Amino acid sequence: MSEEKKTAPQAYDASSITVLEGLSAVRKRPAMYIGSTDIRGLHHLVYEVVDNSIDEAMAGYCDRINVAVHLDGSVTVSDNGRGIPVDMHPKEHRPAVEVVMTVLHAGGKFDNDTYKVSGGLHGVGVSVVNALSEYLEVTVRRNGKKYQQRYERGVPVTQVTVIGEAENTGTTIRFKPDEEIFETNQFSHETLAKRFEELAYLNRGLEIDFRDDRTSERVTYRFDGGIKRFVADLNAGEPVIHDIIEGLAEMDGVVVDFALQYNANYKEEVYTFANNIRTREGGTHLAGFKTALTRGINTYIEKADIPKKFKQKLTGDDVREGLTAVISVKLPNPQFEGQTKTKLGNSEVVGIVSKIVFEAINVHFEENPKDAKAIVEKAVDAARAREAARKAKELVRRKGALSDHSLPGKLADCQSKNPEESELYIVEGDSAGGSAKQGRDPRFQAILPLRGKILNVERTRTDKMLGNKEIRNLITAMGPTPSMGDDESEEKDNENYARLRYHKIVIMTDADVDGAHIRTLLLTFFYRRYERLIQSGYIYIAQPPLYRVFKGDFERFIKDDEELSQFLLGRIGQDVTVASGEKRFAGADLTGLLERIHFLEARIHEAATYGLPDDLLLALLGYDKLAPSDFAAEALPQGLPAYLREKGYALEIESEEIDDEKRLYAVFISANQARHRIAVEFFSSKIYRRAHETYGQLLADCPELPLSIERKEESRAVAGFFDLYKALMDDALKGVNIQRYKGLGEMNPEQLWETTMNPEKRSFLQVSIEDAGEANDIFSQLMGEKVEGRRDFIERNALSVRELDI
């Protein structure tokens, strides 16, 4: 790097240019390489490493991949492929594995001899993971030996060394994302599991074993039926109308694998992949598939001997209603839009996919006329319903365009005709609507009460949706007509949205379960039918207060539980003192002490989800040193076993060989012989480290227990920190009334204006779509027809719920 000139700091010359060597550029601008540093970027690291193993599988050298998420936030990915080469690189004069791990655009994917197709084609994958990891250890099994090298933040800290003999071949990579780079280090089990399941479907015969040490869950994915099985499982529980149509063929070096099946419902569910990468935005392979499907069904209608009532030209939207399909293409040189690979851009793929799919559909229709007839009937029925929906849409559009006299009777409109300053509040029921109408500023705030819960549009056909009175009222009030899945021209779409009457559309529902359900239904409606409103930032969620605290003339509205805790902390009087031996806490010192106790409580709750009881964790936190996470050579940490015996626990270390990796577990045995087993990585987790630090501060602050609460002439003892927190919070509650709002109707108009509608004081959440693909999956899972997805979601997240309001 050139040294910056000191004499002329404003000069811009050669000395101003900074050269980032090695992987430092990745650490400086990580979003350029992995898209973001939030949870999506965190998952992207795992995908990059797993994609390397998948490439080995596609090349025919690997049939098993093991992935494990550890308690400290690290991840291990192991495969039984050929193993990364460890011999010296002819140009770099370093072991090849070190080159792969430390040099951008280094790998075996740039000539089509090593890998004919690959997912991580940019060649920055594993080196970027290395750069953005606190540490990365690579273990290679090759040539009958086991080689290992360790890196820290992308820099090798050891040489490639032989650590033992190996009976098989493969690569194991363990890395821990750097907390200095990433906003979060908590992987989503659901997101990773879904990705691994997809990869197992797309690579028939490949087994992916996923273990999550945080929840002790382990699941193995293997689908010898491939994509056909994928479609069958997607349609599980659905009333299907024919056997699965599938096709697998290669043309000009491009392999096309697809399967499709119609069910009796109305939702289109199409998944597309290119070289195993989920292309959420579709691309040329999806365009080719859609063209072939529409042409195939229309060709059959023209040529087949079917009743005259079915003889009509169908559009693409007509033939995709109720369709479940998976399209996977594998090609040598994929062109993705962006490093995150969400859309395939290879123009030659359109014709290849279209030809292969069209021929497969034709063959299936000729051999299975019963299936063909069922599909045609389904599509024609969809065409009629779509025509009815178009007429209903035009009727709504014409009515909305005539005059304000056509607006819904329950709408209390605003005086302003300027959409940029106008706001529409959607409220539940006439009670809340009455308060909102009286409390609003009629110059720019409009109120639309909804009666009951609107239709779940995720499960509703367009014509039925437009027949619903509440939805029709909402559409008419807003102005633009909803999307029906048909691809309108940009000009027509702009003309439609030019009728939007409000640039703030605010969902204002009660703070209870019903209110949350209505809000979810409305968000589903906007996401599926008015996605452009969300993208433009026009949809908001009001944040009415959860609590009203009052006493005599005093009144205060409180947003949530955290603010209530802060309010109660502030109510602890100046006349209160807490004593620990000779030490005294009052005022700001006492508030700080209580905040640390509150923080510790939250960490203990998190640790409980890992299977550590509160008493055991507190015993561990009381040990004056951080427990080491390595427990080197299975040796017990000096002093810790004796300390735990005093607390009523025996400590043993168990060793286990899992996926060619030696794993250590700490086993704590209580006096009644209850065993609590946890992977030693827990002791390098953020939860343990922060809890240990906070508990150490508390013990240093309060060297003597019990504690004493002193007020004026009175004094009472409390056993420990949590008893102290509860006692003082209970005292703070005395003398005030706290009302928990269940409904907006409980507020009078003045209160609703002051807390929720006054632009100078209110708090809104703006609805946005950070990841359209993820949003689509969540709406499908939680609002769609299939019960299994919702049940799995509830079961997986049940233990994380701290307060259930039912």
Binding residues for Mg(2+): 428, 510, 512
And the tokens for 175?
A: 């890395």
CB neighbours of 561 closer than 8 A, spacing ≥ 6? 546, 803
Annotation says 714 is catalytic: no
DSSP conformation class of 757: I
Decide if 510 is catalytic: yes
Beta strand 445-450 with 423-428 is parallel
3-state secondary structure at position 614: helix
Active site residue 512: yes
Q: Which of 197, 377, 381, 514 is catalytic?
A: 514
| Structure tokens belonging to residue 164 | 């033992």
Among 62, 84, 70, CA closest to 276: 62
- Whose CA is closest to 56, among 124, 123, 116? 116
Between CA 756 and CA 762 the distance in angstroms is 5
Instruction: Return d(Cα 150, Cα 175) in angstroms, integer.
Output: 10
Q: Which of 359, 512, 652, 771 is catalytic?
A: 512
- Active-site position among 72, 134, 510, 659: 510
Q: Of how many residues is the chain composed?
A: 806
Helix (H) or strand (E) holding 535: helix 531-535
Instruction: Report the relative pairing of strands 145-152 and 155-156 from DSSP bridges.
Output: antiparallel
| CA proximity to 243, closest of 116, 372, 390, 421 | 372
Nearest to 319 by CA among 374, 392, 281, 253: 374
User: Which residues, including other chains, have CB under 8 Å from residue 660's CB and lie 6 or more apart?
Assistant: 78, 139, 141, 170, 172
Per-residue DSSP letters for 212-265?
A: ETTTTEEEEE--TTHHHHHHHHHTTTS-B-SPPEEEEEEETTEEEEEEEEEBSS
DSSP 3-state of 707? strand
d(CA 156, CA 137): 10
Distance, CA of 609 to CA of 687 (rounded, Å): 11
d(CA 659, CA 739): 55
Is the peptide bond between 177 and the residue preceding it cis, with omega within 30 degrees of 0?
no
User: Is 514 designated active site?
Assistant: yes
Nearest residue to 528 (alpha-carbon basis) of 482, 571, 565: 482
The CA distance from 499 to 481, in Å, is 9
Match 């065409």 to its residue by tokens. Answer: 383
Lookup: tokens for 759: 């632009």
Q: How far apart are alpha carbons 186 and 69 in whole angstroms?
A: 10
Annotated binding site: 428, 510, 512
Instruction: Label the pairing between strands 547-551 and 554-558.
Output: antiparallel
CA distance 176 to 420: 47
The enclosing H or E element of 274 equals strand 269-274
Residue given tokens 């009144």 in the structure block: 555
Q: Residue 371 region, left (φ>0) first, then alpha (ψ -120 to 50), else beta?
A: alpha
Q: Could you tell me the two tokens for 549?
A: 């605290």
Do 356 and 293 form a contact (C-beta atoms < 8 A)? no
Q: What helix, strand, coil percent values describe the chain, rounded to 5?
A: 40, 20, 35
Per DSSP, what are the bridge partners of residue 450?
428
In the set 72, 79, 413, 428, the catalytic residue is 428
User: What residues contact residue 407 under an 8 Å CB cut-off, 6+ apart?
Assistant: 413, 476, 477
Active site positions, annotated: 428, 510, 512, 514
